[in-house]
Structure 1
Amino acid sequence: MYSLSSVSKHLILVHILALVATQLLLIRSVSSLNMTNSYLNHKCFVSQGKYKPGSAHEKSLEAIIHSISVGENVNSGYDMMSFGDGPDLVCVVLQCRGDSYGSKCRSCFASAMAGLRRRCPRYKGGIIWFDQCLLEISSIDNVGQLNYGDSFCMSNAKNVGDDPFSFILKWDTLFDNISRIAITEKNKNLKDTNKPALYGAGEKRLGTKKKMYEMVQCTDDLSVKACEECLVANVLKFQNCWKSGKRGARVLGRSCNFRYELYPFVNAKTGPNSYFKS
């Protein structure tokens, strides 16, 4: 016969085991997605000069940082604010990855701002890339304009194997499909707007066991036409970096970026539009 205390201990043990199992599932899920937020690269806009401590420029920057930090625009994954004019103009653009909005976007903004301040101390302009966001600070208002200069490519050192031509054909097909999604499907996280999400993600089978995962995105200040032009231009500009059959690569820029891997790296369920599979 079981005592009340032994039953209670048994129930507590079951509860603890259930919690442990849940945590393990969460850890496994996050690990399988490779949902990191690592620093990738940065560039200081040296030509824009530096601001002085206590200056009007610094006060404007601090006001914008506070507004973005506590504002609600991060819930959609994008924010842009400007203040001042002439040499004291401050323009800040934050673009989070399509599946990284809300608290993830806010957290990435904090990391990016701290990283940019550390790497470009008191510069009026600079840009920094993390896995889940890009942040640009500038004394020049270039919102809505295509920027091909501030871009770079990172690729895996390993190649896919014996048939890179077939791999590239499948890459092209997947790129076309998710690019079409990016420029046609509206952002379901934004109310009362028909503007496309300018983000697309998907996967394509490579035989029976492997898959290719790919993502494209443009900053939300671009038009649909400009987004399409930016993606195509960067594909061509950096083809020597990624088109030799690398197992993974990414091109990051101020205006647009794309990435592909042989492992999942975006959350298919939390994107702003449909997730493509083939």
Structure 2
Amino acid sequence: MASYLKYVIPFIFSIIFNFSAIRAQGLSYQYQVCSTNKFTPNSTFQSHLTTLFSSLTSEASNNVQFFNNTITGIDSSYTVYGLFMCRGDIPSDMCNHCVGNGTQRLSADCALSKAAVVYYDECIVRYSNRSFFSNLTMQAGYALWNPTNMTNQESFKILLYDTMNKTADEAAHFPTGSKKFATRETSIDIFQKLYCLAQCTQDLSPGDCRSCLDSLINLDLPDCCAGSQGGRVYYPNCIIRFEIYPFFRSLSTAPTPSPAGLVPPTNSGATQFCLLLSTINRICYNFVYE
């Protein structure tokens, strides 16, 4: 764990310094993880990675919200695998912008890493020297939540788990290869509503998708966010999010913006986030958005 943290901590500070710049571009950058296993500069692997990034950005410009690709060579050690997944409700131009920004960030900030993943609120971009397609990855997760709690926490938690599980059931219902995305809203009381979102990468089977979402809902959500006014949990294969304001788009309308744009509104301006190194190890921090 200690050896891993020396690579995680510098990255955490980069989140704080780069957050405002990314938001200004209309994207909500969350974080990235770069492997410590490196490839040789100017190698065949680097050339293949460049080709992979080009294929991802090209496909994202074709109104595609999920795509995976493999760049192979004579030597299997130079093979690189990659994918992107855009959030199921965002327009194609934002998906294209997010994937392009994600590949640029990975190229710059994860230079020479043989595997990496970058998370935005709008998309996930990932690559590796090992095949990960159709395989669950329950490591290198991330949680972000509103530190302001609901006043009626116990009844809210019951409603949250019920609504989130129904949303997860709907997202996982779609067959392998189909978009696994669902949203749901329900009334908290006469004044407030709860909005939930769940999504898996399309290469997962329905069973693996539900298992991934189940882990987020039953293992991570109770630790980070269950009594909060909003929260989100990301893993390479699936994501969940809930808010007490509308944040997702319908087919015909854009979401009502929150007071802080894509950032959950808070009373103090502070937001908590947590790196989920695995389903049982996590590091949590507080910082104030600019």
TM range (shorter): 0.7 to 0.9
Displacement over 6 Å in runs of 4+: none
Measured against aligned partners, the alpha-carbon deviations of 1:7-26 in whole angstroms (never above 9, x if no partner) come to xxxxxxxxxxxxxxxxxxxx
Measured against aligned partners, the alpha-carbon deviations of 1:76-132 in whole angstroms (never above 9, x if no partner) come to 310111112522111111011001252221111011111222221221211110010
Measured against aligned partners, the alpha-carbon deviations of 1:139-177 in whole angstroms (never above 9, x if no partner) come to 11111111001212111111011x101101111221122
User: How far apart, in 1, do the equivalents of 2:252 and 2:51 lie?
Assistant: 31
Unaligned ranges ≥5, structure 1:
1-34, 187-193, 272-278
Query: 1:73, CA displacement in angstroms?
Result: 7.8
In the superposition, relative to structure 1, how do residues 74 and 209 fare at CA in structure 2: closer, same or farther (>3 Å)? Answer: farther
AA in 2 matched with 1:166: S
Task: Choose the corresponding residue for 2:249, options 267, 271, 278.
Answer: 267
User: How far apart, in 2, do the equivalents of 1:73 and 1:221 lie?
Assistant: 20
Conserved 8 A contact 2:194-2:245: yes
Query: 1:264, CA displacement in angstroms?
Result: 1.3
Query: 1:195, CA displacement in angstroms?
Result: 5.2
Q: TM-score, normalised by structure 1?
A: 0.76
AA in 2 matched with 1:58: Q
AA in 2 matched with 1:246: S
Which residue of structure 1 lines up, in the alignment, with residue 234 of structure 2?
252
Query: 1:235, CA displacement in angstroms?
Result: 1.7
User: How far apart, in 2, do the equivalents of 1:205 and 1:36 lie?
Assistant: 29
Which residue of structure 1 lines up, in the alignment, with residue 109 of structure 2?
119
Conserved 8 A contact 1:218-1:227: yes
In the superposition, relative to structure 1, how do residues 60 and 196 fare at CA in structure 2: closer, same or farther (>3 Å)? Answer: closer
2:242 aligned with 1:242: no
Q: Which has the higher helix share?
A: 1
Larger of the two Rg values belongs to structure? 1
- Identity level (%): 22
Q: RMSD value over aligned CA atoms?
A: 2.1
Task: Choose the corresponding residue for 1:96, options 75, 86, 90.
Answer: 86
Unaligned ranges ≥5, structure 2:
1-24, 254-290
SS of equivalent residue, structure 1 residue 61: helix
Task: Choose the corresponding residue for 1:140, options 112, 130, 140.
Answer: 130
Which residue of structure 1 lines up, in the alignment, with residue 166 of structure 2?
177
SS of equivalent residue, structure 1 residue 240: helix
User: How far apart, in 1, do the equivalents of 2:54 and 2:243 lie?
Assistant: 36
Q: TM-score, normalised by structure 2?
A: 0.73
Which residue of structure 2 lines up, in the alignment, with residue 82 of structure 1?
70
Conserved 8 A contact 1:74-1:105: no
User: How far apart, in 1, do the equivalents of 2:95 and 2:66 lie?
Assistant: 8
In the superposition, relative to structure 1, how do residues 77 and 197 fare at CA in structure 2: closer, same or farther (>3 Å)? Answer: same
Which residue of structure 2 lines up, in the alignment, with residue 167 of structure 1?
156
Aligned residues: 226
In the superposition, relative to structure 1, how do residues 129 and 42 fare at CA in structure 2: closer, same or farther (>3 Å)? Answer: same
Which structure ranks higher in relative contact order (CA pairs < 8 Å, sequence separation ≥ 6)? 1
Aligned ranges for residues 190-209 of structure 1 at < 5 Å?
196-209=178-191
